[in-house]
Amino acid sequence: MSGPNILLTRIDNRLIHGQVGVTWVNHLGANLVVVANDKVSEDEVQKSLMDMVLPDVIQARYFSLKKTIDVIHKASPRQKIFLVVKDVHDALALKEGGVPIDHINVGNMHYEEGKKQISSTVSVDEKDIEAFKRLDELNVELDLRRVPDEKGQNIMNLL
């Protein structure tokens, strides 16, 4: 049996918003958005707000990291999955947990105190850099781009 049909994994601390819910979903041809994040999986208000952004024909699931690791391999081949995580640490946990991630779109990591800005939409600290290095060691392609038609950059060249 083949693995789940994950079209793309995106790191975006905003999770589902207009750019993700419309632009990326349409570009990828996804019919299911899986948000993997422990806090969001239990936040009904945030889930319903994100659902409002998605077109009616697109389904969304909100799973904890553990549940994502446990159920992703049970996905139907008909499910064209766009996997969205809040940060690089969630992405690394999924990869190390056996989720078949070979390509990550790094879309948005907000600036916070103690982080350095490496692009207009991505800021990192030492823990983030270590997680990106680990993903790189695991042969995950790390492509920084905001929208599909933008030319991507390998984030490892910016760290």
81-136 tens-digit pLDDT: 999 999 999 999 999 999 999 999 999 999 999 999 999 999 999 999 999 999 99
pLDDT tier at 66, thresholds 50, 70, 90: very high
> What residue ranges define each of the domains in the chain, with the CATH number in brackets?
6-157 (3.40.35.10)
Give the span between the Cα atoms of 60 and 51, in whole angstroms: 7
Q: Is 17 a catalytic residue?
A: yes
Give the three-class secondary structure for 110: coil
The per-residue b/e assignment along 123-150, b for 16 or more CB within 10 angstroms, e otherwise, is bbeeebbebbeebeeeebebbbbbeeee
Give the best-scoring range by mean pLDDT among 9-18, 50-59, 83-92: 83-92
Average pLDDT over residues 36-42: 96
Helix, strand and coil percent figures for the chain, each rounded to 5? 35, 25, 40
Q: Do the Cβ atoms of 59 and 32 come closer than 8 Å?
A: yes
pLDDT (0 to 100) of residue 85 = 98
Q: Which of 17, 27, 89, 110 is catalytic?
A: 17
- Alpha-carbon span 98 to 114, nearest angstrom: 31
Cβ contact 38:64 at 8 Å: yes
What's the CA gap between 55 and 18, in Å, rounded? 10
Burial (CB count <10 Å: 0-12, 13-18, 19+), residue 34: buried
Angle formed by the axes of helices 126-137 and 88-96, nearest 10°: 30
Looking at the chain, the whole-number percentage of residues with pLDDT higher than 90 is 91
